Structure 1
């Protein structure tokens, strides 16, 4: 399976009064992982946005398993869980420094025109992205 791996150092500002990472900060780390994956595939969201296309999150599912704390380093693994030419579901695992599972998650995305938010086909508008996603999806089977 093609996975992108990114390390994130837990900053003090990301923790809550209990000294653990505030739950919403994992979403930011997921974005860091997703951006890294896309970059490793040879693309950038900025190029998509220059063409008037955005990729909003339409669904997120997160399961919290074990806390991370200030000063630790989280490892974020990201991969393409599902892709159908229109919708992309990314999978995530966030690990503690001891390689224990801290979080499992998925996020679903579609591409839309920035001025209307009407969905577009990735397959048609960005054929190179489509080919890369199909390739990494096939690596999983």
Structure 2
């Protein structure tokens, strides 16, 4: 595992169902928040990708729900880059309430150009920066 970041999230009322439990699709939204903040914190905001004509499209998403989250819970989304190559990125996520694991998941993304066609990220200036940041931030797996 590489580069890890923790993002705080407070459960909003609109994210819960009639029983006051977080609706399942919101975890994928929180995963997006986590990966966006991880990249921004590393100095590679999504806007940097877009300015260079590159995007990262989700091609696979999974979430394992372990315990429910409720309205007004303070959570932490722990995000890391699990693997990366010139063609794709895989992020891993864990959602905690204090020390309790509520959910964990992964998303896999492929690099695409402005036309939406899969591309090799090494063709773009940000590749060297991404490669440097990820390799300098190797961490113990979570």
Q: Could you tell me the TM-score, scaled by structure 2's length?
A: 0.89
Take 1:101 and 1:87, find their aligned partners in 2: how far apart are those partners? 27
SS at match of 2:112: strand
Q: Which has the higher contact order (CA 8 A, sep 6+)?
A: 2
1:86 deviation in Å?
Answer: 1.8
Match of 1:66 in 2: 67
For residues 75 and 37 of structure 1, what CA distance do their matches in structure 2 show? 13
SS of 2:90 mapped into structure 1 = strand
**Contiguous gaps of at least 5 residues in structure 2:** none
Query: Residue 121 and residue 108 in structure 1: after superposition, are their counterparts in 2 closer, same or farther (change >3 A)?
Result: same
Instruction: Give the RMSD, CA atoms, in angstroms.
Output: 1.6
Does the 8 Å contact 2:81/2:90 carry over to 1?
yes
Aligned length: 138
TM-score w.r.t. the length of structure 1 is 0.90
Alignment correspondent of 1:120: 119
1:2–1:52 distance in 2 versus 1, CA, 3 Å = closer
Deviations, residues 9-65 of structure 1 (Å, cap 9, x unaligned): 100000011211000001111111101110121111012112222111110111000
CA distance in 2, matches of 1:67, 1:45: 30
Tell me whether 1:107 sits opposite 2:107 in the alignment.
yes
**SS of the residue aligned with 2:67?**
coil
Unaligned runs of 5+ in 1: none
C-alpha offsets along residues 107-134 of structure 1, whole Å, 9 cap, x if unaligned?
001110122x111222331221122223
Contact 2:55 2:114 in 1 (8 A): yes
Q: Cα offset for 1:140? A: 4.2
Q: 1:87: which partner in 2?
A: 88
